[in-house]
Amino acid sequence: MQYKSMIVCRCEEVSYDELVEVASANNCSARELKLRTRAGMGYCGGRTCRTMVDQIAHKHHPRPDSEISLKYQAPIRPVRFADLGEVK
pLDDT (0 to 100) of residue 60: 85
pLDDT (0 to 100) of residue 87: 67
Stated pTM of the model:
0.71
- At 34-81, the pLDDT tens digits run 999 999 888 888 888 998 999 999 888 887 766 666 765 665 667 777
Q: Which residues contact 9 (CB under 8 A, 6 or more apart)?
A: 37, 38, 39, 40, 42, 46, 48, 49, 53
> What residue segments make up the domains of the chain, in order of their start?
2-85
Residue range 2-85, CATH number:
1.10.10
> CA–CA separation, 14 vs 77, rounded Å?
24
